Amino acid sequence: MNTKLASSVQDFIDYLTYEKRASVHTIKSYQRDIAQLQHYCVNMQMLAWAALTTAQLRVYIAQRHRSGLGAKSVQRELSAIRSFYAFLLKNRCVESNPAAVLRAPKAPKKLPKVLDVDQIMGLLDAPPNSILDQRDIAMFELFYSSGIRLSELTGVDVQDIDFNSRFINIRAGKGGKSRMVPVGSKALQALAQWLPQRQQKAKPQENAVFISTRGVRMSPRNVELRLTAWCKKHGIAEAVHPHMLRHCFASHLLESSEDLRAVQELLGHSNISTTQIYTHLDFQHLAVIYDKTHPRAKKKAD
């Protein structure tokens, strides 16, 4: 392995970790993407990162796409490479950024799947049969009530919930940003039923609201598995993942309020264009209603 190439990669990872304070997920993703590029450069017998040209990088990106990597993944890899070279440029290790002018293939826009309100009610109104069921219902209610991310839910501590103001403090949202999010009465009720049980099960010094059977903070993967099992148990055939509950929160709220800015704030989106995907879901819903009910939209029988 070229130690000079590897040394620069490690410097970049240290920069992301200690200066940018990037999330563990981001760091692992960037590390993996740059390692792929490093492998390519070694095979091309490049001795330094400065040797990589835009034309060579274009060939590399095309190869990655042809190998079966999806457009979104290619976009992510190119973004990581662009950031890596910006770091090298800043530290005068290279004279130009070969990724600056490259554009990844466009990914087809996919609307997020959502459950309808009746499905959500059936999912959340199912009675608990155990302490773990109580915990799970509290988790799912909080997801749907507040639209928080999976990482935000597993990061919630007991002191973050204010039952009087009916808000939850998200201390470490995406990009390290914090925000206050309202919590609905159903979620507060479910939390109130779970917290006394949690108090008996939690390890000393453990502050997490949602804990595993071992008394420690639940992992995101554990939450995913519990939601899958809960949905199967209650007859929902669709593959439901935690982020779908966030999509349901946003879509159902937008249908009722038509306030895109408010939904943006609640979701913690820094750019409203990210939130606008839910307007497409809303329009899709309206189109279905129109086709079913408008007298001039109904198809004539053959």
- Give the pLDDT score at 286: 44
Instruction: Indicate if 165 and 276 belong to the same structural domain.
Output: yes
CA distance readout (Å), 267 to 102, 110, 146, 151, 217: 31, 19, 8, 13, 23
Distance CA 213, CA 249 (A): 28
Which DSSP symbol is given to 172?
Answer: S
Instruction: Indicate if 124 and 61 belong to the same structural domain.
Output: no
Distance CA 147, CA 284 (A): 21
Instruction: Indicate if 60 and 178 belong to the same structural domain.
Output: no
Instruction: Indicate if 225 and 284 belong to the same structural domain.
Output: yes
Instruction: Please indicate, yes or no, if residue 275 is contained in any of the structural domains.
Output: yes
Which CATH number characterizes residue 137's domain?
1.10.443.10
Instruction: Please indicate, yes or no, if residue 78 is contained in any of the structural domains.
Output: yes
pLDDT at 281 > cutoff 50 = no
Which CATH number characterizes residue 68's domain?
1.10.150
Instruction: Indicate if 46 and 136 belong to the same structural domain.
Output: no
Last residue of a domain, one of 90, 106, 137: 90
- What are the residues facing 169 on neighbouring strands? 180
Condensed to tens digits (0 to 9), the pLDDT of residues 82-131 reads 999 999 999 999 999 999 988 877 766 665 566 777 777 888 888 889 99
User: Comparing 95-99, 173-177, 183-187, which segment has the lowest mean pLDDT?
Assistant: 173-177
- Give the pLDDT score at 131: 93
SS3 assignment, position 161: strand
Distance CA 236, CA 147 (A): 20
Distance CA 57, CA 179 (A): 39
Instruction: Indicate if 271 and 138 belong to the same structural domain.
Output: yes
pLDDT at 296 > cutoff 60 = no
Instruction: Please indicate, yes or no, if residue 302 is contained in any of the structural domains.
Output: no
Instruction: Please indicate, yes or no, if residue 101 is contained in any of the structural domains.
Output: no
The answer to whether residue 149 is catalytic is yes
Task: Check 174, 179, 186, 285 and give the catalytic one.
Answer: 174
Instruction: Indicate if 188 and 264 belong to the same structural domain.
Output: yes
Query: Residues 24, 78: contact at Cβ < 8 Å?
Result: no
Distance CA 278, CA 90 (A): 38
- Give the pLDDT score at 266: 58
Instruction: Please indicate, yes or no, if residue 97 is contained in any of the structural domains.
Output: no
Q: CA 17, 20, 24: angle at the middle one, nearest 5?
A: 45
Buried b (16+ CB within 10 A) or exposed e, 81-95: bbbbbebbeeeebbe
Q: What is the mean pLDDT of residues 77-81?
A: 93
Instruction: Indicate if 85 and 121 belong to the same structural domain.
Output: no
Task: Check 149, 198, 217, 247 and give the catalytic one.
Answer: 149
Task: Check 58, 113, 171, 243 and give the catalytic one.
Answer: 243
The answer to whether residue 269 is catalytic is yes
Domain count, the chain: 2
Task: Check 72, 113, 241, 269 and give the catalytic one.
Answer: 269
Instruction: Indicate if 85 and 122 belong to the same structural domain.
Output: no
The answer to whether residue 243 is catalytic is yes
Instruction: Please indicate, yes or no, if residue 45 is contained in any of the structural domains.
Output: yes
Task: Check 30, 85, 144, 278 and give the catalytic one.
Answer: 278
Instruction: Indicate if 73 and 185 belong to the same structural domain.
Output: no
User: Comparing 6-15, 17-26, 260-269, 270-279, which segment has the lowest mean pLDDT?
Assistant: 270-279
Greater model confidence, 265 or 214:
214
Instruction: Please indicate, yes or no, if residue 296 is contained in any of the structural domains.
Output: no
pLDDT at 74 > cutoff 60 = yes
Q: What is the mean pLDDT of residues 34-59?
A: 93
Q: Give the helix ranges, DSSP H, for 15-53.
A: 24-43
Instruction: Please indicate, yes or no, if residue 96 is contained in any of the structural domains.
Output: no
- Give the pLDDT score at 250: 75
Instruction: Indicate if 136 and 284 belong to the same structural domain.
Output: yes
Task: Check 198, 246, 247, 252 and give the catalytic one.
Answer: 246
Instruction: Indicate if 122 and 41 belong to the same structural domain.
Output: no
Greater model confidence, 182 or 45:
45
Q: Domain span at residue 36?
A: 3-90
Query: Hey, which of 147-156, 261-270, 281-290 has the most confident mean pLDDT?
Result: 147-156
Q: What is the mean pLDDT of residues 249-274?
A: 59
Q: What is the mean pLDDT of residues 164-171?
A: 86
Q: What is the mean pLDDT of residues 207-217?
A: 95
Distance CA 302, CA 299 (A): 9
